[in-house]
Chains A and B, each alone.
Chain A
Amino acid sequence: MRDYRSTEERFEYSPVMESVYSDLMARIKPNRVREDTWTGRDPDGKNPFLDVFLETKGEPYAIRLAKSIVRSWMVTEPELFDGDILIGFPRPKRPLFEHFSFGIFVDKEALNYDAYRDVKEEQFKLMTEMEEEFVPLGWHYLYDEARRRFVDPEHPDDYGKVANGLWWTGGYQGHTVPNYDILVTRGIGGVHRQVTERLEGEEDSHKRETLEACLIILEGFRDWMLMQADFAEKKAECGGEFADRYMAVAENCRFVSWNTPETYYQAAQLVWSYNLWDWVDCVGRLDQYMYPFFMNAAEENRQWAEDVTASLMMKFLEHGVHNITVGGVKPSDGSDATNELSFLLLQILRRTHETHPRMSVRIGENTDPALLALTVKMWSEGMSDPSVAADELIIPALINNYGVLEADARNYTMLGCQEIEIPGKSNFGCEDGQINLAKVLEFTLNDGYHREWDGRRVCHSTGKITDHDTFESLWNAYEENVKFFVRNFVDLANMGQEMRAANYAKLVKTPFTEACIEKGLNLDEGGAVYNYGVVETAGASVVADSLTAIKKLVYEEKLISRETLEAAIAANFVGYEKERLMLLNKAPKFGNDDPEADAMMCRVLDSFWSEIKKYKSVRGQEFTGACSLLGGGIAYGWETWATPDGRKKGEPLGNTIAPRPGINKSGLTATLNSIAKLPLDLGVGGTTANIVIPTSIMKTPEMRANIESAMRSFLLSGGQLAQITTANVEDMIDAKKHPEAHQDLIVRVGGFSIKFCELSSVDQDEIIARYA
Chain B
Amino acid sequence: MTGCIFNIQRFSVHDGHGIRTNVFLKGCPLRCLWCHNPEGLKKEPQIRFSPEKCIGCGDCAAVCHGTAHNFEGNLHHFIFDVCEGCMECPKMCPAEALEADGVIRSAEDIIDEVLLDRDFYEKSGGGMTLSGGEPFYQPEFALELLRLAKKNGLNTAVETCGMTSSDVIMAAAPLVDTFLFDYKATGEQRHKELTGSSNTQILNNLSLLGTLGANVILRCPMIPGLNDNDEHYRGIAETADKYDNIKEINIMPYHSMGVSKGIKVGIAPVFTAESMTYARAEEIKKEIEKYTRKEIKVI
Contacts and interface: CB of A to CB of B under 8 A. Distances in A.
B195 interface: no
Given A750-B36, A751-B299, A669 B19 contact: yes
B55 interface: yes
B257 A763 contact: yes
Contacts of B117: 669-670, 673
A298 B60 CA distance: 73
A579 B58 CA distance: 13
Contacts of B274: 766
B200 interface: no
B292 to A, nearest CB: 20
Interface string A740-753: 00000010111111
Interface string A249-290: 000000000000000000000000000000000000000000
A682 B257 CA distance: 46
Interface in B84-118: 94-96, 116-117
A763 B260 contact: yes
Given A668-B11, A710-B124, A752-B15, A593 B257 contact: no
Given A578-B57, A706-B124, A748-B14, A760 B260 contact: yes
Interface in A407-424: none
B290 interface: no
A670 B119 CA distance: 12
Contacts of A749: 255, 257
A404 interface: no
Contacts of B170: none
Interface string B10-48: 111111011100100000000000001000000000000
A702 B18 CA distance: 8
Nearest to B260: A760
Contacts of A751: 14-15, 219, 250, 252, 299
Nearest to B52: A760
Contacts of A748: 14
Interface string B231-254: 000000000000000000010111
B271 interface: no
Interface in B234-293: 250, 252-257, 260, 274-275, 277-278
A750 B299 CA distance: 6
Interface stretch (A134-142, A338-346, A467-475, A580-588): A580-588
B224 to A, nearest CB: 13
A108 interface: no
Interface residues of A, number: 40
Nearest to A765: B275
Nearest to B22: A752
A577 B57 CA distance: 9
Interface in A62-121: none
Nearest to A668: B11
A593 B219 CA distance: 32
B10 A713 contact: no
A712 B122 CA distance: 11
Contacts of A746: 11
Interface string A670-694: 1001000000000000000000000
Interface string A561-597: 0000000000000000111011001100000010000
Interface in B119-138: 119-120, 123-126
B55 A577 contact: yes
A759 B257 contact: yes
B10 A667 contact: yes
B123 A712 contact: yes
A753 B22 CA distance: 11
Given A709-B124, A717-B119, A752 B14 contact: yes
A667 B120 CA distance: 13
A29 to B, nearest CB: 34
A697 interface: yes
A705 interface: yes
A401 interface: no
B9 interface: yes
A762 interface: yes
A709 B122 CA distance: 9
Contacts of B116: 593, 669-670, 673
B119 A750 contact: no
A463 to B, nearest CB: 27
A581 B19 CA distance: 33
B257 A706 contact: no
Given A577-B55, A669-B10, A669-B19, A713 B94 contact: no
Nearest to B263: A760
Contacts of A763: 255-257, 260
B124 A705 contact: yes
A706 B255 contact: no
Contact of B13 (A581, A706, A760): A706
B11 A586 contact: no
Contacts of A581: 55, 94-96
A745 to B, nearest CB: 13
A310 B60 CA distance: 65
Contacts of B22: 752
Nearest to B250: A751
Contact of B256 (A668, A753, A766): A766
B18 A706 contact: yes
A770 interface: yes
A703 B13 contact: yes
Contacts of A578: 55, 57, 59, 94-95
A750 B94 contact: no
B253 A750 contact: yes
The residue among B10, B11, B12 with the most chain A CB atoms within 10 A of its own CB is B11
Contacts of B13: 697, 703, 706-707, 753
A554 B95 CA distance: 18
The residue among B15, B94, B260, B278 with the most chain A CB atoms within 10 A of its own CB is B94
Nearest to A764: B257
A667 B11 contact: yes
Nearest to B58: A578
A766 B255 contact: yes
Given A751-B299, A763-B256, A763-B260, A710 B19 contact: yes
Contacts of B12: 752-753
Interface string B160-171: 000000000000
A729 to B, nearest CB: 13
A752 B253 CA distance: 12
A110 B81 CA distance: 74
B10 A670 contact: yes
B254 A750 contact: yes
Given A713-B123, A750-B254, A586 B94 contact: yes
A585 B252 CA distance: 34
Interface string A651-679: 00000000000000011111001000000
B255 to A, nearest CB: 5
Nearest to A760: B260
A667 B9 contact: yes
Contacts of B19: 669, 706, 709-710
Contacts of B94: 578-579, 581-582, 585-586
A753 B14 contact: yes
Contact of B126 (A586, A703, A706): A706
Nearest to A752: B14
B254 A713 contact: no
A588 to B, nearest CB: 14
B255 A666 contact: no
B255 A750 contact: yes
B111 to A, nearest CB: 15
Contacts of B10: 666-670
Contacts of A760: 257, 260
Contacts of B124: 705-706, 709-710
Interface in A625-669: 666-669
B58 to A, nearest CB: 10
A675 B36 CA distance: 34
Across the A-B interface, give the 4 residue pairs with the lowest CB-CB distance, nearest first.
A709-B124, A667-B11, A581-B94, A709-B123
5 contacts: A707-B13, A709-B126, A710-B124, A713-B123, A752-B15
